[in-house]
Structure 1
């Protein structure tokens, strides 16, 4: 049997982060189609998203025991409600405020995650890693400031946007904390799915009832795009359980928009703005720095190897 090295274990989050970027990048490129083509209401998109969460939850839990302990349920519901609640607050904010102001605020959620992980989980980053985190955060803001239109309707959207930012930053932090507490990925995602389903009545109330005057293509297209979102959320849980939250959150939030822009350019002929081009460069540079330093930090040194007692067996043996 091959024993996994410390480098293998430390870098096990990278494939899941890559899959997350793939699924969320494709989702971002096509997620607006139901609203643009059929004027499908945003709260209804939430309802369909919550239902699609059941699919990856079923696959992840198949053949496994669903952890119903107080620890798993507490973390799972906290993670799920902060994520789903943030989504509902975002829908409300976008109906009363300009997206070009809201999204840059929401985009700073990885900064909340980084600060919480640094303060509460004692995750330590070296100078290069901190540089990568800062580059990724700047890239996220640059991606966001190039979207949206102005609006004159009050200031309520500002505190709502801040609440979304905090909620999603806290969600990513508690994903990591749940993993450190021993809660498995499948159970965490199962509780997230339950949380999303619990908020469906709230979304329906926001619409004043279920809309019926839409062609079948609208919910079908929504289900297809939101399934990508749901599977990506599962990969986020898996990446967070294996890597530092202070690295995983900025990497994934910076690289997914890069793929979205590339796909939009190829499929829809949409040219990136100057802000987006700058964001792409910073996202790639920052993510490369963080991943590179994570790999270098996981490599065992020769001094470490020679100091191992010869008469002691490895705990992995």
Structure 2
């Protein structure tokens, strides 16, 4: 839901997209308080290292995402972002020397085909077309790296509350970057702009906490495909239904291939991750 409506403050009130990031980072404090209440915050070097790596890649991706959503359609951006498991899979292959099964390679091939279709459907006469496509790919890379570190943090025994706490800190750390992008704090906007932003982004923050909790409590091979495939589907459906957009044939094909590739890759990768966790527990 938050993905479909994140661009509304900018569209309706010309609210700067970096301010959307600032409001999002502040809303992260709400679920962080609930998650850490009554629990010990892990300040160890291991937790801090993985937590900041997870948080900075996630927050950096968010900063780019809010810009992308102001210049490009959510129904194209989110399927590309959903291909982030390709980055995670390839990092595991290259850095951890993990063997990849047929499903993983099939997912990578579908991901590449989806990117080609989105590129073909992009209007090359407008610079914004290439810009939002490039930003979507960069977000995909950032969140793929984030997922890799999330997996490593789980194997290292870092609890989900501490991980989310470090994610919140990382989001706040990048606020000065957002302010520099705007040249200062804008004050000449109606109250509806930050209010609408806060209402939308609190869904984003709570969803992030639910994801971290679900990944630590449930089977990753079930949780990850649901969040990587079904979440973009909901965003796409809402975006198309509410804003009345009509994707091209190439875009529809790209959306289908992206979601299929994401599901195949993340299912295979998380099944492998579950095996690692069982081995570590033993």
TM-score by length of 1: 0.68
Q: Equivalent of 1:191, from 152, 166, 169?
A: 166
Q: Which range moved further: 144-153 or 259-268?
A: 144-153
CA deviation digits over 1:140-188, x for unaligned, max 9?
77568757885559x9999987765543322221111111110011111
Flag the 1:149–1:38 CA change in 2: closer, same or farther, 3 A.
farther
Q: Who is 2:60 aligned against?
A: 85
Q: Equivalent of 2:44, from 65, 69, 73?
A: 69
CA contact 1:261–1:272 (8 Å) conserved in 2: no
Task: Specify which structure has the higher proportion of helix.
Answer: 2
Q: Who is 1:114 aligned against?
A: 89
Flag the 1:263–1:278 CA change in 2: closer, same or farther, 3 A.
same
**Matched length:** 270
Flag the 1:83–1:273 CA change in 2: closer, same or farther, 3 A.
same
Q: 1:173 aligned to 2:175?
A: no
Q: 1:273 aligned to 2:248?
A: yes
CA contact 1:145–1:275 (8 Å) conserved in 2: yes
CA distance, structure 1, for counterparts of residue 3 and residue 175 of structure 2: 22
- TM-superposed CA distance for 1:124, in Å, is 4.2
Q: Which range moved further: 142-151 or 163-172?
A: 142-151
Flag the 1:156–1:272 CA change in 2: closer, same or farther, 3 A.
closer
CA contact 1:133–1:250 (8 Å) conserved in 2: no
Q: Who is 1:44 aligned against?
A: 19
In the alignment, structure 1 segments of 5+ residues that lack a partner are 1-25, 299-314
Q: Which range moved further: 131-140 or 166-175?
A: 131-140
Q: Who is 2:277 aligned against?
A: none
CA contact 2:80–2:115 (8 Å) conserved in 1: no
CA distance, structure 2, for counterparts of residue 205 and residue 121 of structure 1: 37
Flag the 1:37–1:145 CA change in 2: closer, same or farther, 3 A.
farther
Alignment of 1:91-170 (within 5 A): 109-121=84-96, 123-135=98-110, 138-139=113-114, 142=117, 151=126, 164-170=139-145
CA deviation digits over 1:211-263, x for unaligned, max 9?
11111111111111112222232244345556669x97777444433222211
Q: Equivalent of 1:223, from 198, 202, 205?
A: 198
TM-score by length of 2: 0.75
CA distance, structure 1, for counterparts of residue 17 and residue 148 of structure 2: 27
- TM-superposed CA distance for 1:69, in Å, is 0.9
Q: Who is 1:209 aligned against?
A: 184
- TM-superposed CA distance for 1:57, in Å, is 1.4
Flag the 1:285–1:94 CA change in 2: closer, same or farther, 3 A.
closer
- TM-superposed CA distance for 1:52, in Å, is 0.9
Flag the 1:143–1:64 CA change in 2: closer, same or farther, 3 A.
farther
- TM-superposed CA distance for 1:111, in Å, is 2.3
Flag the 1:53–1:61 CA change in 2: closer, same or farther, 3 A.
same
Flag the 1:92–1:215 CA change in 2: closer, same or farther, 3 A.
closer
